[in-house]
Structure formats: C-alpha cells, structure tokens
Amino acid sequence: MNKEYALDTAIRILGPCKLDSHLPYRTWSDDMHIRIFVNDELGDGGWSHTYDSFEAAGPRRKLYFDPGHAKCAIVTCGGLCPGINDVIRAIVMEAYHAYNVPSVLGIPYGLEGFITKFKHHPTELTPDMVADIHRFGGTILGSSRGPQQPDEIVDTLERCNVNALFVIGGDGTMRAALSISEEMNKRGLKIAVIGIPKTIDNDINFIPQSFGFETAVFKATEAIECAHTEACGTPNGIGLVKLMGRESGFIAALATLAIKEVNFVLIPEAPFTLYGGGGLLPALENRLLTRKHAVIVAAEGAGQHLLTQNADTDASGNPVLGDIDELLRREIKTYLNARKIPYSIKYIDPSYIIRSVPAVANDKVYCGFLGQYAVHAAMAGRTDMVVAKLQGRYVHLPLELVTRKRRTLNIYSELWRAVLESTGQGMLKGMLPDG
C-alpha cells in the first residue's frame, strides 16, 4: 500500500560561510530549494506521490573555504564507465579557472591510493594535464575495488592538507565516502566530501540516470544489431547478447526499446521460468518455427534463481553471479536437440567494450555539469552529499539517501510495460508481478 514518507533532504555544512565569492554571476543558489515530484520511480517503492524540497546545486555568494588557499583531491573507484575522465576534467577546470584553487590532487587506483602499503603516489592534476582526457574512455587515475580502512584514508587526507575530496563511484563507493566523512567527524576535521554517482548499471538509489548510462545503451544497441544480423543469416539463428546489470535491468530494457529487434529480454527483477506453460524455451521454439530467428538479451544478473547459489563475494562485496549465458546456451541446446530442431547460437558479450568507450555528447554535457556543481558545493562547505539531476534540475542529495539501497527497475512501470509490448514476451511467467 502506498504511504507518505518524509525525506530528510538537509545537506550538512562544515560551518558558517563568511567569504565572498568572486565569481562574476548575477544568479546564485544561496538558500534556493527546488520542489521535486517524488514518485515510486524516483524513490523507494510504495511511496505515495508527493513533493519534496531539495537544495539547489550551483554557485553561492558566500563560501566556506578560501579558494586561493584550498586543496582538492579526486578519486575514482569501482568499474569503468563512460565519462569518468569528463568528470575529472570538469572538476579540475572549474577549480583552477573559476576558483583559482592552487592544487588538485589525483589519487591513483581508487581507495588503494590513500593506503601507504600500496605505495601509490598522488598526481598533481593541472588544466594542461587534463585538457584532452575527455577524448578517451576509462579513467586517467586508475581504479580499484574493495574496502579500505577509513582511518588510514583520513590519515592521508590530513597529511596532504586536503580541504575537499571528490569521490567518483557507485553504490559501494558512496557508502565508503560516508564512512570516510564519519571518521573525519570523529577527529573534528573540516574536509568536504562530495560524491559524483557513477554506475553503468544505473542502480544508485534516487538517481534517475547516472552519467555514462546513455553511452552504455547506445553501444549495447550496436551489439544487439550485430546479434540480429547473425540470427537472420542462418535458419533458426539465435542471437544471444549478455549486458551489464547485476541487480538492475535498465541497460537491457532501454537498449531493447531502442533497437526494436529483441524478442526476449531477461532482467534480474523478472524471475522467468524455462519450461512448461509460460516458459522461455517453449516460447523460443514457437518463435523459431514461425519466424526462423530470435534475439535474446540477458542482463548478467538475470535468472540467478535458476543457478546454483554461490556464497562467494567479489572485491566490492557483491555476490559472485552465476553465468546466465552458459545456462541459456546449455538449456537451449538440450531443449532444441530433443525436438530435433536445427539451430545456430551466436553469443555476444560487449561488456568491456561498453565500459571502456568515451562518452557520447549528451553524457559529456552531463559530466561537465556534475563536475562544475561538485566544485561549487565543496567551496561552499557542503559535505556528505552527491550532485544529482532530478527532473531536469541539479540538486544536492545527502549521501545517506542515495546509499539506502540499490535502485532497480520497477516491473509495474510504464517502462517495463513498453518493453513487454516491444518484445511480445508478456505471456512469459514472471514478466508481470503476481496479482
């Protein structure tokens, strides 16, 4: 049942902002709040439709830090995603050219870069150094997975006299940023912690679309088009594409809608069955008998209920997934062979290509805004927050809000209904919620 839920959207500030900004703007974001229409798609499922007030992102008349004496640091964590270099570049350019910050440190290889035993050394990032990095995928700082001790990270920040830390990463990284800030509070340190949410799966809570996601969908459609071409090139051809999406099927769903050549899309949120009435394999058989080809798109986290559960976790603490592609290929082979139906399966996994490419134009614009607004927030003493775009407006969100849970695709939504209409797979079991 829907229920009212009051959000705590207050942003913590390190202290009174007493310094005048010298930015040459006529519009400022001081004390400006934006009312956002919050519904089930934006927030946690089960919320009633309501408006909530969020602090606007943007430059402030009054600053907490003296920019001319401030030092910033940037760290990138987790898997690669299109646009990371664009965000790094935007932060460096804004800090140097808008605020005249004298030093921006790049922390190498994620949170490892703070830990002495790994013997990584920070890099001084300058406008000349980052001028062309947006042309390339990946991150010039490198990355890593896995937790590191907050006290050791804060030790390094103290030694380096850092005033503002920009953390670019996903759900686990944002939780780490919150832990780092809590350690700073224990020590009474005045260091701003600003998160820039990064997840190619688009699964950070309360963030409707993360940077790099549009690029990922675009590249995914290219792989699906190739799978369709392969499937059409042989009798009973089956094109199978595995896309990113551990717990959320957003890339698979949006790419399916974009390319219109997918017959079955499998996502973690919709627990399908293989056999019997409403099963995937009988539906695939019927598709081959009537149309002579089929395209299947599977998010990597789909069908885990059909696989042997693994208690292991990866370096980021995520459960190790079973191989949905191996399951599908094995079961399709067994099923069709038993019915003496000839077939050909062409399997494509474009994941590392998608993760590593440069961002497309719209994502580049988005990354630029995120980097600029992150610097504005830090100079004004904001902390424990991320910069986000909600319903066309850039706002500040508390780290606590975005780390409550992972965002998943709502299979009650219009988005999923459109996917079912596009593929025609609405008759499969598990595609719609019970009742």
The total number of residues written for the chain in this structure: 435
Taking alpha carbons only, the member of 324, 236, 353, 318 closest to residue 285 is: 236
Cβ-based neighbours of 47, under 8 Å, separated by 6 or more: 2, 3, 4, 5, 38, 39, 40
Are 315 and 146 in contact by the 8 Å Cβ rule? The answer is yes
What is the number of other CB atoms lying within 10 angstroms of the CB of residue 432?
15
- In 205-340, where does DSSP find H-type helix? 213-232, 250-259, 280-291, 324-338
d(CA 125, CA 107): 10
Directed axis angle between helix 280-291 and helix 324-338, to 10°?
A: 60
Q: Is 201 a catalytic residue?
A: yes
Taking alpha carbons only, the member of 352, 388, 350, 372 closest to residue 86 is: 372
Are 172 and 79 in contact by the 8 Å Cβ rule? The answer is no
Q: Which amino acid is located at 227 in the chain?
A: A
Of 201, 325, 363, 384, which residue is the catalytic one? 201
Cβ-based neighbours of 421, under 8 Å, separated by 6 or more: none
> Element (H or E) spanning 262, and its range?
none
Phi-psi region of 110 (alpha: psi -120 to 50; beta: other; left: phi over 0): left
SS (H, E, C) 94-123: HHHHHCCCCEEEEECCHHHHHCHHHCCCCE
Which tokens in the block code for residue 17? Answer: 């902002």
Per the DSSP assignment, residues forming a β-bridge with 192 are 164
User: Known catalytic residues?
Assistant: 201
